[in-house]
Amino acid sequence: MAEFSKEKKTILSGIKPSGELTLGSYIGAIRNWKQLQEDYNCIYCIADLHAITVRQDPALLRKRTIMQLAQYIACGLDPEKNVLFLQSHVPAHAELGWVLNCYTMVGELNRMTQFKDKSAKHADNINAGLYDYPVLMAADILLYQTDLVPVGEDQKQHVELCRDIANRFNGVYGDVFKMPEPFIPKLGARIMSLSDPESKMSKSESDAGCITLLDRPEDIMARFKRAVTDSETCVRFDPVNKKGISNLMTICSAATGMTFEQIENQFAGKGYGEFKPFVGEAVVELLRPVREETERLLKDKAYLNSVLDNGAQQASYLARRTLSKVYRKVGFYSTDK
């Protein structure tokens, strides 16, 4: 069981199990989470309620959920130090989400860029859940009196909305919610697709330039060798004019610990033909232990289920404290003495 300490700040983040975890989610998110586990109270949610805002295949959703848990653990998130749980196992998320709906303005939701992007992409299924997604995310965060929310750039607007909702609620009822801050990692915050360095690496787009955590080494190598670059031959960091190469350098630096300068020096006078497989090898070695450990864990469903049961129990305990306070503040009648 994760021991929570009052002296430590609380961190909460989540990833939807709607696609496989990618190299982007590893470098940009999960790998950093691992470093936080000693210094913070850490809560990580597998956001399955969020996943169904876009139509999912039920069997695949179930499979990806347990795979995502196995991968969290394989990436180094120790269930003894972090609370790892499934959002649908803790009803307080949906419950607080409802209450917060009544403190969120439709004008605010209309401004969310992710909603605009997603409704353009899924024009045949612009459902109310997709619209309301940021309110559920606010509930995820506020339930745990979270201090810091590690997210990518694309989620910053949602964390800001969460703060606005919390402020409005606290303005009416006093200090009920802690004010959370977004926590955006510097390096590798945004890993781009290998085949289209203009867009974020993403499994859901069936992106040919996406690396997932469970990809075989030969597939990883093939994708790096085909990575889109530019017509120069110089390995140099220039995220404006050389997006492909700069993305490969970011990945290389994250995988090897080399600085951009060291990479530039090592490949001075050498072409992309040498650089691309070098990055590929580094990524193969980075992901090898994660893949092997995930495969091992997936054979032990009893253990994974016990992690989820414990996680749900701990998360529910923490979440209920906030939810009861909210219910009392808004005036719901309680039979408790």
Tokens in use for 96? 């607080």
Smaller CB distance to ligand TRP: residue 14 or 280? 14
Task: Identify whether 200 is a catalytic site residue.
Answer: yes
Shortest approach of ligand TRP to residue 168 CB, angstroms?
A: 19
CA–CA dist 206, 183 (Å, integer): 28
Shortest approach of ligand TRP to residue 158 CB, angstroms?
A: 6
Smaller CB distance to ligand TRP: residue 130 or 149? 149
CA–CA dist 328, 258 (Å, integer): 53
Shortest approach of ligand TRP to residue 98 CB, angstroms?
A: 16
> Which residue among 148, 151, 228, 252 contacts ligand TRP (CB under 6 A)?
151
Shortest approach of ligand TRP to residue 13 CB, angstroms?
A: 4
Footprint (CB under 6 A) of ligand TRP, residues 23-62: 47, 50
Stretch that binds ligand TRP, among 12-20, 73-81, 234-242, 300-308 (CB under 6 A): 12-20
Residue 3, C-beta contacts closer than 8 angstroms, at least 6 positions apart: none
CA–CA dist 209, 196 (Å, integer): 7
> Which residue among 141, 279, 287, 290 contacts ligand TRP (CB under 6 A)?
141
Q: In angstroms, what CA-CA distances link 187 with 32, 136, 254, 257, 281?
A: 10, 28, 7, 11, 20
Task: Identify whether 118 is a catalytic site residue.
Answer: yes
- Tokens 């031959």 correspond to what residue? 233
Tokens in use for 193? 């697709």
Residues paired with residue 82 on neighbouring β-strands, in sequence order: 42
Residue 31: Cβ within 10 Å count: 17
Shortest approach of ligand TRP to residue 152 CB, angstroms?
A: 7
Which position among 16, 81, 118, 242 bears the catalytic label? Answer: 118
CA–CA dist 91, 245 (Å, integer): 45
Which position among 16, 81, 200, 276 bears the catalytic label? Answer: 200
Residue 322 touching ligand TRP (CB under 6 A): no
Residue 92 touching ligand TRP (CB under 6 A): no
Amino acid (1-letter code) at residue 124:
D
Q: How many residues does the chain have?
A: 337
Give contact residues for ligand TRP (rule: CB under 6 A): 12-16, 47, 50, 137, 140-141, 149, 151, 155
Residue positions annotated with a catalytic role:
118, 200, 203
